[in-house]
Amino acid sequence: MAYKNLCISIMKENRMLDRYLKTVITKCNYSKTTNFESSENNEKTTHFGFQTIKESEKTNEVYTVFENVANYYDIMNDTMSMGIHRIWKDIFIQELGPTHGTHLLDSAGGTGDITFRYMNFLKNTPNPQAIRSSVTVCDINQHMLDVGKERANRLGLSQDTNCSITWKQENAENFSFPEESFTAYTIAFGIRNITYADKVLSEAYRVLQPGGRFLCLEFSHINNGALQWLYDQYSFQIIPVMGHLITGQWKAYQYLVESIRRFPKQEDFKDMIQTAGFRNVTYKNLTYGMVAIHSGFKL
């Protein structure tokens, strides 16, 4: 009898999980666009995970999410990805392949993961002529930048003689930088959190010099049904629990997994990058498409 009751309980839980996942999929497929018209006051709305909110509210909502988790951001990245995010970021910098004299804008650079890899890559590259490089780390969230600054000081990178580092609070949709200020632009796990991805791409194009490279690392879409199912179980059942236990923030990590499902698929994002003016646009899937590196050049 106990065995029978256990089987019945498991069957009920599986049916509940299936209904939940069908709801998730329905929400993901509801629209391929990010902007919707509000029937009440005609103010455009956008997605915040699976929620629909006013476009004017999204920046503040995202700011609050990252303000609350800034001090735990790197610990959670290691925990959620089991350290694989470090490999993704290493591959990302190898794909960039910076040379001495590169002037990088690390957009949504947060706690400095991409910047530090960039600087270490240059350190390990011969520089007989002592050519100076630079990196400007920008993020809309000052708390994230403060964490990055502290890390840079601990790692001894703040006074690097071959590469200067600048930290600036900036909105990636509307930079204060002059046109053609940088030779390379990176954004890692940031563009899906910004309200107007098309404005981010347009600004990236504006601040790059002719010949400059745009490189984006972002969560993407797995095209294998079985792997996607397993990924969904982990994402929706485990990650928010981790977030609650480690940071005390369930909502922030529920938003994280929902925002990934709302981000455009690889081909669609490629089209957006091309529309912004970039040429030779390509993408490379990592871990079966769980993340993708998108590349383009200002030619």
25 and 62: one domain? no
Domain span at 269 = 58-297
Q: Are residues 102 and 19 in the same domain?
A: no
pLDDT tens-digit profile of 115-139?
999 999 999 999 999 999 999 999 9
Residue 36 lies in a domain: no
Does 116 reside within a domain? yes
Same domain? 148 vs 290: yes
- The 10s digit of each residue's pLDDT in 235-293 is 888 888 887 777 777 577 777 888 888 899 999 999 999 999 999 999 999 999 999 99
Q: Token pair 């972002």 is at which residue?
A: 218
pLDDT at position 210 is 98
Q: Would you place residue 234 in the very low, low, confident or very high pLDDT band (cuts 50, 70, 90)?
A: confident
Which pLDDT does position 23 carry in this prediction?
44
Residues 7, 81 share a domain:
no
pLDDT digit string, tens, across residues 30-58: 333 344 334 345 667 654 444 454 555 55
pTM: 0.77
Six-digit token string for 1: 């009898």
Same domain, 17 and 152: no
69 plus 121 within the same structural domain: yes
Give residue 53's pLDDT: 45
Is 12 part of a structural domain of the chain?
yes
Q: What is the CATH number of the domain that holds 151?
A: 3.40.50.150
CB 260 within 8 A of CB 192: yes
pLDDT of 110 reads 84
Residue 71 marked in a binding site: no
Whether residue 164 lies inside any domain: the answer is yes
139 is in an annotated binding site: yes
Return the pLDDT at 206.
98
Q: Are 297 and 279 in contact (CB under 8 A)?
A: yes
Mark whether 155 and 280 lie in a shared domain.
yes
What's the rounded mean pLDDT across residues 56-66?
A: 55
What's the confidence (pLDDT) of residue 255? 77
Residues 22 and 62 in one domain: no
Residue 47 forms part of a structural domain: no
CA-wise closest residue to 243 among 256, 230, 233? 256
| % of the chain exceeding 70 in pLDDT | 75
Report the alpha-carbon distance of residue 292 to residue 288 in Å, rounded: 9
Tokens of 231: 């990924």
- Say whether 74 counts as a known binding-site residue: no
Place 87 in a pLDDT band, splitting at 50, 70 and 90. Answer: very high
245/119 same-domain check: yes
Length in residues, the chain:
299
Q: How many helices (H) and strands (E) does the chain have?
A: 11, 10
Inside any domain, residue 40: no
Q: Is 247 labelled a binding residue?
A: no
In a domain, 38, yes or no: no
* Residues 198 and 283 reside in one and the same domain: yes
Tokens of residue 258, six digits: 């929902």
pLDDT digits 0-9 by tens, 130-189: 999 999 999 999 988 999 999 999 999 998 989 999 999 999 999 999 999 999 999 999
Pair 213, 275 in one domain: yes
Q: How many domains does the chain have?
A: 2
Q: What is the C-alpha to C-alpha distance for residues 62 and 232, in angstroms, rounded to an integer? A: 22
Question: Left, alpha or beta for 82 (phi > 0: left; psi -120 to 50: alpha)?
Answer: left
Domain identity same for 131 and 268: yes
What does the pLDDT read at residue 262? 87
